[in-house]
C-alpha cells in the first residue's frame, strides 16, 4: 500500500515537472522564431509570383528583406516584412536611355506601383496630362469598399499623390449626363466632349453648336455637375 502511494507521488511530481518545462518554454521562447519567418527563397518566390518580374537579389536585415526586381527593362527595389510577407514598399530604380533621360514606364509597370501602395482591386485606371507631363491615376478598392486614389508620374514612377476616400466615393458623371447639363446652359447640338483634369479638378469640356452656327464650350464639373464656365468662339 505504501509502495503504491510513493509511486503515485513520483508520477505526480514527474507530471508537474514536465508541465513546468512546457510552460517555461512557451513563456520564454524567442518571439517570431525563424521557423515562422520567410526564408530568402520564399521571399523571392512571393515577389515573383505577385509581380511577374525576376528577382535578382535578396538581402536580409533586421526582420526585413530588401530585394531587387527586374521587370520589362526596368528595375525596382522592394521592402518585405520577413514575418508577415507583406510588401511594404516598391520603388523604381529605372534604367537610362541614351542621352541620360529615363524611359517612360509601361502601363503594366504603373499598375505594379499602384498595387504596391494599397491592398485591393484596381477598379479604375486612366492616363491624363497635368502641368505638361503625363500621369496615371488609379483607384484601388479594398474589401471594405474604401478607395485609395493614387497618381503616378509616367516617366519615373514617382507617386505624386495618394488619397484614401470614403467607402462610397462620389460618382463621376457620364458623358451623356454632362452633355445634358451643358445643353441646358447652351441650347444646340453637341459636337465633342473631352474629359480633363487640371490642379486636381476633373471636368468635361462640351462643345455645342447652336442653330445660328455659333459655337460654345461649356465646362462642367465631372463630380458635382456644376457649370464652371461658358466660352464662345469668335
CATH of the domain at 208: 3.10.450.40
Q: Are residues 112 and 159 in the same domain?
A: yes
67, 88 in Cβ contact below 8 A?
A: no
Residue 217 structural domain: 175-233
Q: Are residues 118 and 156 in the same domain?
A: yes
Examine the fold and report which residue of 48, 68, 92 is the final residue of a domain before the chain moves on. 92
Strand pairing of 133-141 and 121-130?
A: antiparallel
Give the separation between CA 113 and CA 37, rounded to whole angstroms.
25
Q: Are residues 114 and 161 in the same domain?
A: yes
Give the separation between CA 186 and CA 227, rounded to whole angstroms.
11
Residue 195 in any domain: the answer is: yes
pLDDT tens digits for range 172-202: 899 999 999 999 999 999 999 999 988 778 9
Quote the pLDDT of residue 27. 44
Whether this prediction's pTM lies above 0.85 is answered by no
Residue 212 in any domain: the answer is: yes
Total domains in the chain come to: 3
Q: Are residues 206 and 229 in the same domain?
A: yes
Task: Identify the CA nearest to 136 among candidates 124, 148, 123, 127.
Answer: 127
pLDDT tens digits for range 74-101: 778 888 888 888 888 777 776 544 444 4
Amino acid at each position: 500500500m505504501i509502495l503504491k502511494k510513493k509511486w503515485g507521488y513520483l508520477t505526480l511530481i514527474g507530471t508537474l515537472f514536465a508541465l513546468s518545462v512546457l510552460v517555461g518554454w512557451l513563456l520564454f521562447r524567442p518571439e517570431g522564431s525563424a521557423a515562422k519567418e520567410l526564408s530568402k527563397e520564399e521571399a523571392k518566390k512571393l515577389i515573383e509570383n505577385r509581380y511577374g518580374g525576376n528577382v535578382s537579389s535578396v538581402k536580409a536585415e533586421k526582420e526585413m528583406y530588401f530585394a531587387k526586381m527586374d521587370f520589362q527593362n526596368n528595375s525596382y527595389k522592394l521592402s518585405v516584412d520577413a514575418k508577415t510577407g507583406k510588401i511594404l514598399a516598391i520603388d523604381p530604380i529605372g534604367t537610362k536611355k541614351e542621352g541620360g533621360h529615363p524611359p517612360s514606364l509601361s502601363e503594366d509597370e504603373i499598375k505594379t506601383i499602384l498595387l504596391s501602395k494599397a491592398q485591393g482591386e484596381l477598379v479604375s485606371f486612366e492616363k491624363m496630362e497635368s502641368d505638361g507631363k503625363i500621369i496615371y491615376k488609379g483607384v484601388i478598392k479594398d474589401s471594405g469598399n474604401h478607395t485609395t486614389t493614387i497618381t503616378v508620374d509616367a516617366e519615373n514612377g514617382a507617386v505624386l499623390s495618394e488619397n484614401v476616400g470614403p467607402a462610397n466615393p462620389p460618382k463621376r458623371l457620364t458623358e451623356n449626363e454632362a452633355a445634358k447639363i451643358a445643353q441646358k446652359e447652351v441650347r444646340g447640338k453637341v459636337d465633342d466632349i473631352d474629359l480633363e483634369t487640371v490642379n486636381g479638378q476633373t471636368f468635361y469640356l462640351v462643345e455645342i453648336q447652336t442653330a445660328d452656327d455659333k459655337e460654345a464650350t461649356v465646362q462642367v464639373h465631372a463630380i458635382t455637375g456644376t457649370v464652371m464656365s461658358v466660352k464662345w468662339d469668335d
